[in-house]
Amino acid sequence: MTIAAVIEEKLLSAFSPLHLDVVNESNNHNVPPGSESHFKVTIVSKEFEDERLIKRHRAVNSVLSEELAEKIHALALHTYTEKEWLDYYADNTPLSPNCLGGGK
């Protein structure tokens, strides 16, 4: 199973998201072809209602702790409530920041 598939499976199970997008952005970075080291996750969940951004990110990081410790170099998180998603982000998901190196 690919790392992207593991990420998707774990997040689907933990958050029952209304929307989930897992993008392998490794090809945008200085890593060998076929790498799975840099990801962007966009997730919309009722679990994020009334939660600050830091708590949302910590919840996702907790679910993906094994992958973050062993396999993922960078994880860009975009965590939204349903209202936030519908009001603005559905058509305007932010781009991930440029990588500063590492992960060869």
Write out the residue range of the structural domain in which residue 53 sits. Answer: 3-91
Q: pLDDT value at position 84? A: 92
Say what the pTM is.
0.82
Confidence of residue 104 (pLDDT cuts 50, 70, 90): very low
Across the beta sheet with 74-80, what order do the strands follow? 19-24, 38-44, 74-80
Structural domains in the chain (count) = 1
Residue 101 lies in a domain: no
Q: By three-state DSSP, how is residue 78 classified? A: strand
- For the ranges 6-15, 20-29, 74-83, which has the lowest average pLDDT? 20-29
* Burial class (CB within 10 angstroms; exposed 0-12, middle 13-18, buried 19+) of 42: buried
Is residue 104, in this structure, part of any structural domain at all? no
Which is it for the CA torsion 58, 46, 4, 2, positive or negative? positive
Summarize pLDDT for 21-79 with one digit per residue, the tens.
999 988 777 777 777 888 999 999 999 999 999 999 999 999 999 999 999 988 999 99
Q: Is residue 99 part of a domain?
A: no
- Average pLDDT of 72-94? 84
Confidence class of residue 4 from pLDDT cuts 50, 70 and 90? very high
